[in-house]
A and B are shown apart, each in its own frame.
Chain A
Amino acid sequence: MAHLSSSLPELTRALRAGGVKIGSGSMLDANAALAAVGLAARDDVRAALCATLIRDPADLALFEHVFDAFFPLQSWTLPGSDPLTAKSKGLEAPPAARRLAQSLASRGDVQLLRGPDRHERIATGTESRLERLASKDFEQMTVAELEAARRLIAAAPARSTWRRSRRWESDSAGRSVDLKRMLRSRQTDIVLFRAPQWRPRDWVLLIDISGSMAVYSRMFLHFAHALSRGGGRIETFVFATRLTRVTRELKESDPDAAMRAVSRRVPDWDGGTRLGESLAEFSRLWGRRVLGRGAQVLLLTDGLERDGIEVLDLELARLVRSSHELVWINPLRRHAGYQPLAAGAGVLARHAHRNASAHNLDTILDLARMLGPRV
């Protein structure tokens, strides 16, 4: 196994390509860990690398797979074998591995969006293509376009809004006396003040996945996935006839795997809607747990409610009372001159603080911007 530490960079490169964040410090750690456990036992080597390179359970499956591909069991005991030669084999199975193989290919669109500079896009002559894609209704997109859109959504930068926290910091404009700092500055005649600190606001995403929402809810789930991977507290629920929490499923780093995990969890994709009932279930089971700190609630639905409007009215009022802000995201707004005439839509329009759409890339990216800090 003399080649093992020299193949570390290869292994980390493969993991990085699969979306694992590995800093150079971690590579030093990995080397130190290998020196400590020795190279005789494959299991110990695997555990040592895992403890130093992986920091997220969602990446464990990918790690196992890459490790096995680089260091197959059979090759471990063969004297003089170079584990690196093994790496061309394997890498067939799960999505993470597929992505590993493809991840470096055709990243064009994502990078375009990341580039802050519009001139750059014009210069490369791709602007019009991108612009066209951005304003195209998801429902009209080809499979390839949807795939490109998904990757763009994954790269969408979204920042948090802010809330007051229970912690304090010194602030001359604050309203509360900072006794601690007065003593520390060794004087008691100048009164110092403190004020609460500000924290990123929590988000709660409620996504209607009933039949009428098909494409839009799927694309929005990708947006939810991108948000969930970005830190800050985000809780995501989907519903058609009943409510399912998918926060955990969306933590998976691989978007395909995350979507698959969501589908597995959800019993009623594309079913009918019971908006009012689902919101009631949310407030009963989750409301107090996830809205406690003044969350911003994004509710994606077309408001085509089947059941009683009274329940919906009641539940929306409750939701508005216990959250910081309710944003109603309605893909039907794509139609020029849309009016919330359906009974359910009327109730939603009455309660929501803000409205938005999410029927194409532009509107989803607008949403990401809208969620940015407001002063």
Chain B
Amino acid sequence: MSANVPASVDETAAFLRRGQYVGDRNLAVVVYLALKLQRPLLLEGEAGVGKTEIAKVLAAGLGRKLIRLQCHEGLDVAAALYEWNYLRQMLELRMAEISAGSTSREALAAEIFDPRFLIRRPLLQALEPHAEGPPVLLIDEIDRADEPFEAFLLEILSDFQVTVPELGTLSAAQRPIVIITSNRTREIHDALKRRCLYHWIGYPSGEREMQILAQRAPEVNEALALQVVAYVQNLRRRKLFKPPGVAESLDWAHAIVALGQHALSASLLEETLGVLLKYEEDIAAARASIDEDLNALNLRKPSLSR
């Protein structure tokens, strides 16, 4: 039960809103273009700003399968595309040799390179036909993979076909919707970037972050949400090693509600800063100015303009 693909920028904006994704007009434009021009979309931004979420919202809203390739150092073709099940092949080979000594080597070889010994990894899955329509292929955190992997990916994204030497060429009847994300811990190769439409996602403005909280953490009342957002936005202006993302704001707001609290206080901050900040140095820095920061929140109404 595949839903209709949005047919304009306005429809795309509405589509994202329905998926409870709070984005700006620019995002609606690039998502629409990616769908319309059938081009991969490269999303870059700090961790926790909602890159991965876009792929999820797309798949859910369109009723398509989400196929995720999580990148890491040393990721290779075997883990990304396909791999032969060598152990089973070896076993098969040995068994055949034992039982029917007469079978020719060639016949045996043909037999062991049978699709049933093929392990399909995400990229291959994405090229296969799917009943509900072309899947959403999420290539997540490409910056963690090694550079040669990008060259390989570039090939696949150029013609959406792969050659398995033993089986022949497989090509996608319909192109998957491709979302690539990067936290930008390193530069992505130009050639790959040129294959894609590009969009940078920054931290949201205070206003937008309030909307995200309203969507994704409705049990947090508005007064508390305002304090949370103002405090987090303030933290992002400081020189932290890893400033909190939207994901952290949400986690933090959830944690505060779970503790039965309705407003920020010094003791609450002491207890829960670890939810917001991941590095000791950052926590120490934030802890050092708790009173000051709380005062600032209380004295003037938090400024939520960008």
Contacts and interface: CB of A to CB of B under 8 A. Distances in A.
Interface of A: 21, 23, 25-26, 29, 32-33, 36-37, 41, 43-44, 46-48, 50-52, 54-55, 57, 60, 165-167, 179-180, 183-184, 186-188, 197, 199, 231, 233, 251, 265, 285
Given A36-B32, A55-B198, A183 B84 contact: yes
B236 interface: no
Interface in B90-119: 90, 93, 105-106, 109, 112-113
16 contacts: A32-B37, A36-B32, A37-B33, A43-B25, A43-B26, A51-B33, A52-B197, A54-B198, A180-B84, A184-B84, A184-B165, A186-B109, A187-B105, A199-B146, A265-B239, A285-B281
A23 B194 contact: yes
A231 B109 CA distance: 44
B109 to A, nearest CB: 4
Contact of B26 (A47, A199, A251): A47
A125 to B, nearest CB: 37
Given A52-B33, A165-B146, 7 more contacts: A37-B9, A44-B29, A50-B26, A55-B194, A55-B196, A167-B146, A231-B187
Count class of interface residues, chain B: 35 or more
Contact of B148 (A37, A41, A167): A167
Nearest to A179: B86
B29 A37 contact: yes
A33 B33 contact: yes
Nearest to A202: B186
Contacts of B44: 57
A55 B193 contact: yes
Given A180-B84, A180-B86, A186-B109, A48 B93 contact: no
A166 B198 contact: no
Contact of A44 (B9, B86, B105, B187): B9
B37 A25 contact: no
Contacts, number: 91
A33 B9 contact: no
A10 B300 CA distance: 48
Nearest to A26: B194
B194 A47 contact: no
B161 interface: no
B112 to A, nearest CB: 8
Contacts of B113: 186
Interface in B73-93: 73-74, 76, 78, 84, 86, 89-90, 93
A373 B98 CA distance: 52
A44 B74 CA distance: 39
Contact of B190 (A21, A54, A285): A21
A265 B105 CA distance: 68
A37 B6 CA distance: 13
A37 B26 contact: no
Contacts of A165: 74, 146
Contacts of A231: 187, 189
Q: Which of B9, B36, B89 has the most chain A CB within a 10 Å cutoff?
A: B9
A183 B86 contact: yes
B166 interface: yes
A299 B187 CA distance: 24
Contacts of A187: 105
B33 A36 contact: yes
Interface string B233-255: 00000010100000000000000
Contacts of B42: 55
Interface in B7-60: 9, 25-26, 29-30, 32-33, 36-37, 39, 42, 44
Contacts of A41: 9
B120 interface: no
Contacts of B32: 36-37
Nearest to A21: B190
A29 B38 CA distance: 12
B121 interface: no
B200 A60 contact: yes
B199 interface: yes
A186 B106 CA distance: 8
Nearest to B33: A33
Q: What are the 4 A-B residue pairs with the smallest beta carbon separation, nearest first?
A: A47-B29, A186-B109, A47-B26, A55-B193
A51 B84 contact: no
A51 B86 CA distance: 43
Contacts of A47: 25-26, 29-30
Interface in B117-152: 146-148
A4 to B, nearest CB: 16
Contacts of A197: 148
Q: Which of A25, A26, A36 has the most chain B CB within a 10 Å cutoff?
A: A36
Nearest to A186: B109
Contacts of B109: 186
A182 to B, nearest CB: 9
Q: Which of A32, A47, A179 has the most chain B CB within a 10 Å cutoff?
A: A47
Contact of A51 (B106, B187, B199): B199
A46 B186 CA distance: 27
Contacts of B89: 183
Given A180-B86, A183-B89, A233-B186, A48 B165 contact: no
